[in-house]
Amino acid sequence: MSEENKMLTREEWIVKIQSEGKNETIRSEMIRLGFWEAPHLSEEEREQQAKEDEEYKEVQKELQALQKQSKQLKDIDFLLKEARKRRIEESKQRRAERKEQREKAQAEAKEKWEQYRETHVIHVGDGVSSGLSSFDADEAKLMQHKLPLIRSALQLSEDMGFTLSEIKWLTYHRNTATINHYTRFTIPKKNGGNREISAPKTKLRKAQTWVKANILDNLAVHDAAYGFVNGKSTVNNAKPHIGKDAVIKFDLKDFFPSISFVRVRGLFESFGYSRAISTLFALICTEPPRKEVEFDGKMYYVAMSDRQLPQGACTSPTITNLLCRRLDEKLTQLATDKGFTYTRYADDLTFSGKEESLNQLGSLMNNVRSIVAFEGFVVNEEKTRVLRAGRRQRVTGIVVNEKANLTRKDIRSFRALLHNVEQRGLDEENHKNHPHFWDYINGYVSYVQMVRPDIGQKFAAQVLRIAEKYGLPVRVHA
């Protein structure tokens, strides 16, 4: 079989069609098989035909290349769609996994938060809650002062004998409250006017008593402090000023109200306690002055100013003594430098000196005012006194001109009172309806015994006779 009539395989046909083009292959096969008679062309026409055939083949090749490229592009689109679809599925899966992890973390965080709330105080009211999450304490300082180590609000409540809920209830601050932890009443001041007393109710009194006994009483106050200090009295405060040529008296204005919540909190922090625990202590020991307001048949207690030391809480006097340690140190040094003696009984500052020191009196008084102002207090100028030896000199009610003494007027008045009570009975002489008149009488006798033992013994013997006559309880010892 000639090469021309040789049968082509399938693969060869494909190669031939791809190289010559489908139409040209069909035409050449038809001519070879006799179905098509090639036209008789001139040489020029054959060259033109060959040229056209060649161009046709080139066009076919380009077309095949474009078809192949088009097929590849279709494949790329498909692959891109598949890849995009796969990425979307993977992204959904990752989001689902992250959501599951996030929900698990949130559940764990919520559980931890609930556990934390069960053992901590989270919020105690607007303006006083900062630092409740800070439990950094100076335990070395606490141990040095022999103070109890308190690391959490739960521990504090347990040490005090309360539940944590009760601590939250006692310490929560509201500007307008429907409950009041204090009973308020007024007592007359010695020099006129009334003094408001805020007496804590049972549970708060228990908490304050614990703070005083376990913390405040374990800390030393300055030697110049005599008020509310165990073993010291008004007589002890007065004795250093006996027989001086001049006694200078200052009074601190609004003494307890000037001690704010922030200062009390800072005091407990200075002992070594954390900000969180110091905040709770300060809330237990302070309270804003409140006014009772009735609205829609309900009583509200409205805060009239910021939290401060209440007069009537057992913690207030000791806190003032501890806060005044630096004041007492500075004033003691000032007095020593100027040749004077200094003592402080609560808000009463007393200086005294001999004649040779009195040329420093003006400088002393100006410096006292400056130091008092620097320490955050204000001198009540209306009560500032300079008492010379030629007139009666009284220090915390005790006459100190020559010895510790009481005024003749006070002694005569009380002697007359005892005489009338012995003659007429207790109720007949209680003209001012004093609720604890017998206790007042016994207390004053003890006071006289302390200042003037000679007169006090006589008064005590008379009180014993009155007690026996009217069946009253014995309070004093003759």
Is the Cα dihedral 37, 39, 40, 46 positive or negative? negative
SS (H, E, C) the chain: CCCCCCCCCHHHHHHHHHHHCHHHHHHHHHHHHCCCCCCCCCHHHHHHHHHHHHHHHHHHHHHHHHHHHHHHHHHHHHHHHHHHHHHHHHHHHHHHHHHHHHHHHHHHHHHHHHHHHHHCCCCCCCCCCCCCCCCCCCHHHHHHCCCCCCCCHHHHHHHHCCCHHHHHHHHCCCCEECCCCEEEEEEECCCCCEEEEEEECHHHHHHHHHHHHHCHHHCCCCCCECCCCCCCCHHHHHHHHCCCCEEEEEEECCCCCCCEHHHHHHHHHHHCCCHHHHHHHHHHHCECCEEEEEECCEEEEEECCCCECCECECCHHHHHHHHCHHHHHHHHHHHHHHCEEEEEECCEEEEEECHHHHHHHHHHHHHHHHHHHHCCCCECHHHCEEEECCCCCEECCEECCCCCECCHHHHHHHHHHHHHHHHHCHHHHCCCCCCCHHHHHHHHHHHHHHHCHHHHHHHHHHHHHHHHHHCCCCCCCC
Q: In angstroms, rounded to a whole number, what is the distance separating the alpha carbons of residues 383 and 396?
A: 13
Give the pLDDT score at 307. 97
Burial 6-39 (b: 16+ CB within 10 A, else e): eeeeeeeeeebbeebbeebeebeeeeeeeeeeee
Q: In angstroms, rounded to a whole number, what is the distance separating the alpha carbons of residues 452 and 1?
A: 160
* Residuewise pLDDT in 10s, the chain (478 residues): 455 556 778 887 787 777 777 777 777 777 777 666 556 667 776 677 777 777 777 777 777 777 676 666 666 677 678 778 888 888 899 999 999 999 999 999 898 888 888 888 999 999 999 999 999 999 999 999 999 999 999 999 999 999 999 999 999 999 999 999 999 888 777 666 778 889 999 999 999 999 999 999 999 999 999 999 999 999 999 999 999 999 999 999 999 999 999 999 999 999 999 999 999 999 999 999 999 999 988 999 999 999 999 999 999 999 999 999 999 999 999 999 999 999 999 999 999 999 999 999 999 999 999 999 999 999 999 999 999 999 999 999 999 999 999 999 999 999 999 999 999 999 999 988 888 899 999 999 999 999 999 999 999 999 999 999 999 998 777 7
Cβ atoms of residues 128 and 307 within 8 Å:
yes
Give the pLDDT score at 476. 76
Give the pLDDT score at 79. 66
As given in the structure block, the two tokens for residue 7 are 């049968």
Neighbours of 108 (CB within 10 A): 10
CA Rg value for the chain = 50
As given in the structure block, the two tokens for residue 32 are 């070879």
The amino acid occupying position 351 is F
Give the pLDDT score at 12. 79
